[in-house]
Every structure is written in structure tokens, then in C-alpha cells.
Structure 1
Amino acid sequence: MTSHPEFNERTTGTEVASAFADQIRGRTILITGIGPKGIGASTALAFASQSPALLILASRTKSKLEAVADQIRTKFPHHTTTNTRVELVSLDLSSQHSIRQAVTEITRLTNNNRKLDILINNAAINTTTRQTTPDGGLELTFGTNHIGTFLFTNLLLRNNLLSPPPARIITVSSAGHRLSPMRFSDYNFSDPTYREVVPAGEDHMRPPLPGAFAKCTEDGYNGMVTYGQSKTANILFTLYLQRHLAGRGIGAFTLHPGTIETELGRDQDPEVKEEFHKIEAYWKSLDEGCATTMVAALDPALDETKGLYLVDCQFSDPHPHAKDEVAAERLWKLSEEIVGENFTLEDF
């Protein structure tokens, strides 16, 4: 159980930050996926409200990073001139080269003596057409949302940049993980006849996907299903981290932030957006949308639980296919093969 059972879907990230102000002041926090119209920005603003020592914002687009940094400086001018240092890092999670450059820059910014207390893996994409990563030829959504996050997190751990205890690794997933398990036999969704030969346990949501969610492009690509697989991967990744970092004083949690109007859905088919409005009764504000992330990152009570996945600021159960420890081990090994490196957490 969390320490604030009264927190719910309408709780804001700002409220959570105020409740756990002592967990923020003087800390070093890194957030990925920063844009002025997303929950990365609202997460950064919520943390900035309580004077962390160093706030590192990482994203692909420099102009978006600068816009959010300006928001922070405008809203909290005293904090950011006297207490909080804000640093910006270029990070494209679809590119292993960019990830490695970003880790080098983060190492420089922390000066090797100020380690990260909190890592928020917030960045994600949701494509509507088949695309591939620039340097690995992976299906772009899986390659960015999981493989990029996997490599980035492990390089930070390898470089000893997380500070136990009570460091936390928070990876933002989604209720969309229910749309698809990990397709180990075709994680790139490259076989257009996949539904005819799908192995047991790897097919996407049944009964059939609702309405527009089932729409595919001419080459058989379904962006909702590929997104679902990547979000399942986020949860399995966190499950593996929990099991293997438990003795290191580093906590790991994942979450569904809620349904929020952000740039993540900017390319979605209008029919898909309409379908979301049919099935979601309450749409959160950006500040409400970061609240569950803040609880996962800050609540000390979580260290005394066996919880994994939070929804509306409280623990919930993900779909069974996302809490399968065998699948988590299998995904870790697959991810190592894809990035061409082995990461043994106990050795870091």
C-alpha cells in the first residue's frame, strides 16, 4: 500500500511533490521525454516546485527542452537561481549512438560525485505506420520505447550513476500493455501473415480489438498493437530490475499515467481518438497525468511492498502476460542480443 490511500485519479503531481517535499530537496533527478505539451514537462515542473539540487531534462528536440526549462525558470525563479540547477541533454532513444553520447554527457554533468537519486524513463512514441530505428533496423516503437530505455538505464547503472539507497528507477508504461504480450517470435511485426501462424500466448488482445484499434496499414502494421507490446516490455523490464536490484538499494516501479491529451497521440487516426473517448470516462490534466509517476518516484512506503505497477497513484495488477518472470528473463536476454552487450546487474 502507498502512504497516501486518499490519492486518486484527480490528484496532481504538484500535490504529490508537496506531500513528499523532503524526498525531493537537494536530490538529483533525470527525466526523459521532455516536451512542453507532455507529462514529461509536468513531471519536471512538479519536481522543480520543491527545489531539487540538479534536474536533468533529456529529449530529442532541443527547442522543446529549452521551452520546458524556460517554463521552470519562469514559474520558480527563486528556486532555479538559488537552489536548483537545470541541465539539458540531447537524447534520441531510437539511436544507440545518441544514447551512448547522452550517458557520457550525463556523467560529465554529475561530475562523477553527484549521482542520480531518481531516474524517470518517461519517453515514448506511438507510430501509425511501419518505421525502423536508424542504426538497428528495429521496429521503431519497440526499438525506442523498450530497447532504447533498456540500453540507457543499463549504461547509467554500469557507469555507477545511480545512488543507492534510496535511488529509484521509474519507467512509464500504459494500460495499453493489455493490447499485446511480447511477440518473441516476431517482435518486429515483420510477418504480415502473423495472425495465421501466431504461437500460443503471443497473439494480441482477445476478444478482437475494439473498432478503430484493429485498423492496419496496407502492409499489416497496427500501431496500437506495437505500442501495446512496447508497454508490456516496459513492465517486464521493471520486473527484472526489481528482482535483480533488490539487494542494491535501488527500487524500480512502473505505472499507467492515465488518459491524457499529449503529443504522444498527435499522429493518431481521428477514429482512434474517437475510440479512446468512447472507452475513457475521465481525461486527466497534465498535472494529474504525472501524479502517479511522482508517487512511484517518491513514496518511501513503496520500499516495504512487493508492488510493481501503479494506476491512479495506487498499486494495481498489470495483465498476467506483463508479470511473467519467465518472459522477463527472456526479454532481458533478447534485449542484450539486440544491443550487443551483456548486463549483469549484480556486477554493477
Structure 2
Amino acid sequence: MWPFSRSCQSTARLVGRTVVITGANTGIGKETARDLYRRGARVVLACRDLNKANAAIEELKSVPPSCPTREQFVGEPGEVVACKLDLNSLASVRECAKHISTTESAVHVLINNAGVMMCPKGVTEDGFETQLGTNHLGHFLFTLLLLPKIIQSRKDSDPCSRIINVSSMAHARGDINFDDLMSEKSYSPLKAYNQSKVANVLFTRELARRLKEANITGINVYTLHPGVIKSDLGRHLSAGPRFLLGIFRPFIKNIEQGAQTTIHCAVDEEAAKETGLYYKECAPTSPSSVALDDAKAARLWDTSIKLVGLPTHNLTELIEQVSKDYIK
């Protein structure tokens, strides 16, 4: 396993906080849920397969993190529940967001963790290229539909509410091809994946900018590279990439190590002072030059708004409209 992996050092407890994690029935999403649940949070697993989500819940309740004596795990655990979310379907995204907004008393942390990697060419229920649709557009819509609830949930006693988008170092080899966004002219599993991951970083940057522009405080936005991790995310890899992974196996993180930067962004006290940044190894670092392109971030925002069918590009107006439809 990777010998230089940093761990989240915060001992913060999360009693009274509600966390929503997409794709939390497996991999680093489940490990993140395990940690935050043991810190006392109410954790909502937003997953496509409810049977797998419920099985994960039983495991989370019975199997603690590997360092259960650490201060953050001393005390009663929180709660953990599941709800259905299929990021391949905008209808499912809307239904899940509405369910959470109307049944949960608050949402303090949203972790957009689910994703697919280098899968065969395909489209979502709404006709989007699978990787862009799942990794970016589904989470883009989910975030903006939950944003009024997150704003409503802010507490004076808490440093901030947080939105975390799990990206990858693969974003550094990506760009946004606005001329062929859905890879209809030419499809490469790797290029489509890289594009979806740079979209995660650009979305984070633009959301942070628009929150500031709208004078909405107390909500911080983060994106991150979790590390190279042995998980089922790479099930579509061909023989070549699998061979390379075999060569670099001594440097591959285990699942718990891979969750540490996500956990850091969710709980760390210093991170509460930061927004719009890209992290790896539990610290801010510089993303690619493409991911720092504000014009490209704004264009991706406008394009994504149209694709997911939201009524306006203006964040303040959007929050007002979504609040009427989703907050009761």
C-alpha cells in the first residue's frame, strides 16, 4: 500500500450534523460514511441499489474504523439511512433531492462521491455520455437542488456547511470539448473520464465564485484527488491499464487511506476557512491550468444548466425557484 499517505488529523465530532454521500455503499464512499457515522453524524447513503446500500448500513453499524480508539470515535455513533439515487437519470436525481429536502431536517455536508471510470461507450437515460452524465451532470443537478436545504441548515455555532466533489488527478490530462461534449464524433473511455473529472474541478471553482458573488456565506466547496486506490471503480480497465496498475501496486492506497482527503475536507477545522480549492493528501494543491480557467468554468456552468433543465443561470434566482419547489 502507499507508504506516504496522509490521514485526516481532525478529531472533530459531528453530533447533530447530517451528511449526504452519493455512492456510499462501496469503496471510499462507504469508508467515508463509516468514519463520519462513528463521529456522531447522521449519514444518508444516496445509492442506486438500495439492497447494497442496506447491506452497507449493517456493516457500518457493526464494523468500526480500524482506529476506533482515536478521540473522534470516542462517544456514541450517529445514524445511517439509505435513499435511492441513480445518477444516470435526472428524474431519479430530482426525486432523491426532493425526498432529502422534505424528509431530512437539515443537510450540513454533501459529498458527491459516486462515479464511473473508463466504461464502454454509452448514454444515460437522458442521452448524455455516461461518464460526463454520471460524474458531472448528475451531481451538478443534485447539488443545486439540495443547495437551498444546505443554506437553510447553516448554524451559527458551526464553522460552515460543506459541498465536496470527488475528482481525480486524471483531471490534469483532461479538457472540456464543447464542440463534442457528449463524445458523439469520437469516443475514448480515457478522454471522456478525464473530461468528467476536470468538470468536477471547474464546477467546484465556479460554484464557490457564484456563492461569493451572491453574498451567500457559511458554505464552502471542495474538490479532491483521493489517490490511486484499489477498488471496483476500475472494473472496465483494459489489459494495458491493468498491467500498469500491477506494476505500481506498491503505491496503491487501500480504501481507508483513499477516504482520508474526503474526510479531511468534511471535518477539518482549517479547511473550514477555505473554499473553491483542490486537495490531495489532506492539503490544498494546484490543479491543472485548464481547471483554473474561469471563462471555461462559467461556460461549463451555463451549458450544464441548459442540459439538466434548470430554469436560470443566476444562482440567487435559482435558489429562490428551487426553494419553492423543494423546501416545504
Aligned residues: 299
Q: Which residue of 2 aligns with 1:263?
A: 232
Check whether the contact 1:251–1:303 (CA below 8 A) recurs between aligned residues.
yes
Task: Tell me, in whole angstroms, the C-alpha distance in 2 between the residues paired with 1:251 and 1:129.
Answer: 34
Give the Å deviation of 1:344: 2.7
**Greater shift in the superposed pair: 182-191 or 306-315:** 306-315
TM-score, length-scaled by structure 2: 0.85
C-alpha distance 329-109 of structure 1, shift in aligned 2 (>3 A): same
Question: Within the alignment, does 1:64 sit opposite 2:52 as a pair?
Answer: yes
Q: Which residue of 2 aligns with 1:333?
A: 302
Q: Which residue of 2 aligns with 1:51?
A: 40
Q: Which residue of 2 aligns with 1:236?
A: 202
1:169 counterpart (163, 167, 181): 163
Q: Which residue of 2 aligns with 1:187?
A: 181
Q: How does 1:123-272 map to 2 (within 5 A)?
A: 123-134=114-125, 136-159=126-149, 163-164=153-154, 166-192=160-186, 221-246=187-212, 247-248=215-216, 249-272=218-241
Q: Which residue of 2 aligns with 1:84?
A: 78
Check whether the contact 1:103–1:152 (CA below 8 A) recurs between aligned residues.
yes
Give the Å deviation of 1:277: 4.2
Task: Tell me, in whole angstroms, the C-alpha distance in 2 between the residues paired with 1:105 and 1:307.
Answer: 28
Task: Tell me, in whole angstroms, the C-alpha distance in 1 between the residues paired with 2:18 and 2:313.
Answer: 24
Task: Tell me, in whole angstroms, the C-alpha distance in 2 between the residues paired with 1:345 and 1:9.
Answer: 40
Q: Which residue of 2 aligns with 1:117?
A: 108
TM-score, length-scaled by structure 1: 0.80
Q: CA RMSD in A?
A: 2.2
SS of aligned partner of 2:178: coil
Match of 1:109, as an amino acid? T
Give the Å deviation of 1:160: 5.3
- Percent identity over the alignment is 34
**Greater shift in the superposed pair: 281-290 or 223-232:** 281-290
Check whether the contact 2:94–2:142 (CA below 8 A) recurs between aligned residues.
yes
Task: Tell me, in whole angstroms, the C-alpha distance in 1 between the residues paired with 2:249 and 2:56.
Answer: 28
Q: Which residue of 1 aligns with 2:24?
A: 34
Task: Tell me, in whole angstroms, the C-alpha distance in 2 between the residues paired with 1:307 and 1:34.
Answer: 23
Q: How does 1:286-305 map to 2 (within 5 A)?
A: 286-305=255-274
Match of 1:224, as an amino acid? L
Check whether the contact 1:34–1:64 (CA below 8 A) recurs between aligned residues.
no
C-alpha distance 306-143 of structure 1, shift in aligned 2 (>3 A): closer
Q: Which residue of 2 aligns with 1:283?
A: 252
Task: Tell me, in whole angstroms, the C-alpha distance in 2 between the residues paired with 1:325 and 1:308.
Answer: 13
The gaps in structure 1 that reach 5 residues or longer are: 1-7, 193-220
Give the Å deviation of 1:46: 0.9
Deviations, residues 69-124 of structure 1 (Å, cap 9, x unaligned): 01111125xx9xx65221101101110010011112212331xxx21111100011
Check whether the contact 2:15–2:78 (CA below 8 A) recurs between aligned residues.
no
